[in-house]
Homo-oligomer: A and B are copies of this chain.
Amino acid sequence: MAGSSFGKSFVVTTFGESHGVALGAIVDGVPAGIELSEEYIQKFLDRRKPGQSTVTTSRNENDKCRIYSGVFGGKTTGTPIMVMLENQSQRSQDYDELAITYRPGHADFSFDSKFGFRDYRGGGRSSGRETIGRVIGGAIAIKALEMLGIKVQAFTQSIGNVYAENFNLEECSENDVYMPDNEAAAKAVELIKRAKEEKDSLGGIIGCIATGVMPGLGEPVFDKLDARLSAAVMSIGAIKGVEFGAGFHVSTMKGSQNNDPFFVDEDDTGLHIRKKTNMSGGILGGISDGSPIIINAAVKPTPSIAREQETVNAINEEVELEIKGRHDPVIVPRAVVVVESMVAITLFDMVLENMKSKMDNVLKVYKN
């Protein structure tokens, strides 16, 4: 299958370019009977909109989504759901110079190498605006996961060298950078302002936690839950690294430290096997183990910076480049909802895939 679709059972196919007519997604494989409205999806889209705070670009995108198919009487029908946003202004004069210049850190050169030419306006298909389609898919997945008691939440772990030290997820919505630590957030905002003044940009780390995940999601070999999640998260433009649980720290740990001991827990619903620690990040052998899923993703500094850069153009000339227009000095806060969406899409896809793992499940669905 061509590369604009993600998922096997719950499939999100995005379309659209930054300055094209519209952007959106078809979400296919959504089970029938889930409540869905434009207002609900819009809340997720608003989290990735620019112009929301002092630290994001001041471009004001008036993105209003519309559902074009797959919902009837307020519920999903089991048929493909198409949701789209028309681009309000397709102003592209800022970008004319970029028609032939290859911006460092961007996909311009690699895109031209692949396709021979490109829609250069605002990054075209490689623009962050493509993630609109992902957030649409994510909003639907999150709704379905909630019906199963699964909650996915992403947040800003760090910006530059400022790290969240408290971990209070409720604080995320109280600050401009989506950090679970208002104090660290304040420092991060200062850092961002400084970078902006220096015509430079910052990176950071986005964390994501999924709770309530039943054990059993993921397939033992290639479609391991962590393999699918890492593809999901790494497919977001600016991400350069992904890790689960103890992540890269495992390289210096001993087995006796990294192995999570199991114990038997008892509550109202009976006995449960749980782990005393969660170095595994909720995944053992590629299959969810019932502990929270823990993911970290490294986000690179925004490649569009205002300071002068050396580069080349499509006719093999070396040129100096100053990128005009308004750009985020850091992409992290706006990318949080995109990571959350990709994790949710993957988890719900695996929920559907896992239904088929046992003949008992097949009989449960058909024999009653």
User: Could you tell me if B32 and A26 are in contact, using CB atoms closer than 8 angstroms?
Assistant: no
Q: Which of A53-61, A75-83, A181-189 contacts B (4 or more CB under 8 A)?
A: A75-83
Q: Considering the chains assembled together, what is the distance between the CA atoms of A221 and B257 in angstroms?
A: 38
User: Could you tell me if B200 and A221 are in contact, using CB atoms closer than 8 angstroms?
Assistant: no
Q: Which of A40-48, A167-175, A225-233 contacts B (4 or more CB under 8 A)?
A: A225-233
Q: Considering the chains assembled together, what is the distance between the CA atoms of A276 and B318 in angstroms?
A: 12
How many residues of chain A are within 8 Å of chain B by beta carbon? 170
User: Could you tell me if A220 and B79 are in contact, using CB atoms closer than 8 angstroms?
Assistant: yes
B contact residues around A365 at 8 Å (CB): 355, 361, 364-365
B contact residues around A362 at 8 Å (CB): 31, 144, 147-148, 351-352, 355
* Distance to closest chain B CB from A306 (angstroms): 10
B contact residues around A242 at 8 Å (CB): 230, 234, 241-243
* Distance to closest chain B CB from A10 (angstroms): 7
* Contact code string A251-290 (vs B, CB < 8 Å = 1, else 0): 1111111111111100000010100100011011111111
User: Could you tell me if A67 and B21 are in contact, using CB atoms closer than 8 angstroms?
Assistant: yes
Which residue of B254, B284, B317 is within 8 Å of A107 (Cβ)?
A: B284
A110 contacts B by Cβ under 8 Å: yes
Q: Point out which of A2, A118, A220 has the most chain B C-beta atoms below 10 A from its C-beta.
A: A2
User: Could you tell me if A115 and B254 are in contact, using CB atoms closer than 8 angstroms?
Assistant: no
User: Could you tell me if B250 and A311 are in contact, using CB atoms closer than 8 angstroms?
Assistant: no
Residue of B nearest to A241 (CB): B243
User: Could you tell me if A124 and B234 are in contact, using CB atoms closer than 8 angstroms?
Assistant: no
Q: Considering the chains assembled together, what is the distance between the CA atoms of A167 and B217 in angstroms?
A: 40
* Distance to closest chain B CB from A334 (angstroms): 16
Which residue of B239, B243, B271, B366 is within 8 Å of A240 (Cβ)?
A: B243
Which residue of B69, B204, B358 is within 8 Å of A115 (Cβ)?
A: B358
* Contact code string A201-238 (vs B, CB < 8 Å = 1, else 0): 11111000000001111111111101110111011010
A33 contacts B by Cβ under 8 Å: yes
* Contact code string A292-303 (vs B, CB < 8 Å = 1, else 0): 000000111111
User: Could you tell me if A116 and B5 are in contact, using CB atoms closer than 8 angstroms?
Assistant: no
B contact residues around A351 at 8 Å (CB): 362, 366
Given A3-B222, A3-B224, A5-B11, 7 additional A-B pairs, CB 8 A: A4-B219, A14-B222, A33-B359, A201-B255, A240-B244, A258-B303, A259-B305
A95 contacts B by Cβ under 8 Å: no
User: Could you tell me if A263 and B310 are in contact, using CB atoms closer than 8 angstroms?
Assistant: yes
